[in-house]
């Protein structure tokens, strides 16, 4: 690890691969010899065409997407998608199924309800403070889509496998586990991911949308609220978030060429997750908050014996080069976000510190 850098466990904006940051640094003032920074080149230039097209093609290769899927780059984050999805796909007389697994699902449900759209919350884990992923869900066969959040950053839960919706397209918020594992994309009509957690910097939201979903978009929506606007213009109807797309492109390149694809990325993530959870489970001092079969490989949430000790733990961890371990303000506790760019070395450094802290304060 670079001696001036800490181990970054932030939940988002989060760690980026060091090699990506170094490439940005080395090319920042003079991108590909053009005499301008990548932040200065025109989004209508050949140089930016190469960036955005490469980002699309690498995304398609990594996820094995065929031509019926379109890769889009939008602004407004995942939170904007909460509103756009019902706006685009729930015309009068249509309804959708939502599964509530915590904060981000709750926000998505609220945005549909604000618009007066017909939705059914077909399952929820609120009864146990969102500490698990519901099972054996009965979906409505006539639903326009099924909405899920594949990973809950706040509660530390994740869908280990995706539900059988009997052909109803799944619409998934994958902000915090996008590109962390291979996907059976045929189940999904739309996938969206705010980049700042696992695939890039803040400022861009990746949207992957299938042709049949695009055909459902009504014409009488505001231009910037329609997915068809972005699909027809290669995400460049207006000026896109150019720098964020550039960094995302480099992360896709890192996943493809350095890591070697999503199968290998998943294996690394499994190794990191098992290492940290096994340590927590072996301790009487630390306690994981998510139920074992619903635990996230991206966000490991845990508690110490008291809130005072948690505050001390976070403070001392920072002094020891371990950053971003404070739990979300809505739940407290501690959280280690171990996204793709967070190394096994970082996880081992964390467990070493946890052992020392327990020995000194247990």
Checking if the pLDDT of 1 tops 60, the result is no
pLDDT of residue 2: 60
Instruction: Find the mean pLDDT for residues 160-167.
Output: 96
Checking if the pLDDT of 186 tops 90, the result is yes
Checking if the pLDDT of 307 tops 70, the result is yes
pLDDT of residue 3: 67
- The pLDDT tens digits of the residues spanning 62-86 come to 999 999 999 999 999 999 999 999 9
Q: Which residues are catalytic?
A: 104, 173, 197
Question: Check: CATH 3.50.50.60 for 261-361?
Answer: no
Checking if the pLDDT of 203 tops 90, the result is yes
Instruction: Find the mean pLDDT for residues 22-50.
Output: 97
**Residue spans in the chain of domains classed CATH 3.90.1150.10:** 261-361
Residues present in the chain in total = 362
Checking if the pLDDT of 308 tops 80, the result is yes
Checking if the pLDDT of 353 tops 90, the result is yes
Question: Check: CATH 3.40.640.10 for 22-259?
Answer: yes
pTM of the model: 0.97
State how far the Cα of 269 lies from the Cα of 339, in Å rounded to an integer.
8
pLDDT of residue 4: 84
- The pLDDT tens digits of the residues spanning 71-128 come to 999 999 999 999 999 999 999 899 999 999 999 999 999 999 999 999 999 999 999 9
Element (H, E) at 287: strand 287-288
**Residue spans in the chain of domains classed CATH 3.40.640.10:** 22-259
């Amino acid at each position: 690890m670079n001696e001036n850098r800490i181990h970054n466990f932030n939940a988002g904006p989060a760690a980026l691969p060091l090699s990506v940051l170094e490439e940005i640094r080395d090319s920042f003032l003079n991108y590909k010899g053009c005499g301008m920074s990548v932040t200065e080149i025109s989004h209508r230039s050949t140089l930016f065409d190469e960036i955005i097209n490469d980002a699309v093609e690498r995304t398609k290769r990594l996820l094995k997407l065929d031509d019926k899927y379109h890769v889009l780059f939008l602004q407004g984050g995942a939170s904007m998608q909460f509103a756009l999805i019902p706006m685009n796909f729930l015309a009068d007389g249509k309804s959708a199924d939502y599964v509530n697994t915590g904060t981000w699902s709750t926000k998505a449900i609220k945005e549909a309800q604000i618009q007066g759209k017909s939705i059914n919350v077909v399952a929820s884990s609120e009864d146990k403070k969102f500490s698990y992923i519901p099972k054996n869900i009965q979906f409505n066969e006539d639903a326009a889509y099924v909405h899920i959040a594949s990973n809950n950053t706040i509660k530390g839960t994740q869908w280990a496998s995706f539900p059988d919706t009997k052909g109803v397209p799944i619409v998934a918020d994958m902000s915090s586990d996008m590109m962390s594992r291979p996907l059976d994309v045929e189940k999904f009509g739309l996938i969206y991911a705010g980049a700042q957690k696992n695939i890039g910097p803040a400022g861009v939201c990746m949207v992957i949308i299938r042709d049949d979903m695009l055909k459902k978009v009504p014409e009488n929506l505001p231009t910037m609220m329609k997915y068809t606007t972005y699909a027809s213009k290669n995400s460049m109807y207006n000026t896109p978030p150019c720098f964020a797309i550039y960094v995302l492109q480099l992360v896709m390149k890192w996943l493809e060429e350095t890591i070697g694809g999503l199968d290998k990325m998943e294996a690394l993530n499994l190794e990191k997750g098992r290492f940290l959870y096994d340590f927590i489970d072996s301790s009487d001092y630390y306690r994981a908050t998510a139920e074992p079969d619903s635990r996230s490989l991206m966000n490991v949430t845990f508690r110490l014996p008291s809130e005072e000790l948690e505050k001390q733990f976070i403070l001392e961890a920072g002094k020891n080069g371990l950053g971003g371990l404070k739990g979300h303000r809505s739940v407290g506790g501690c959280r280690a976000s171990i996204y793709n760019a967070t190394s096994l070395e970082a996880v081992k450094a964390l467990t070493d510190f946890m052992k020392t802290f327990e020995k000194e304060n247990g």
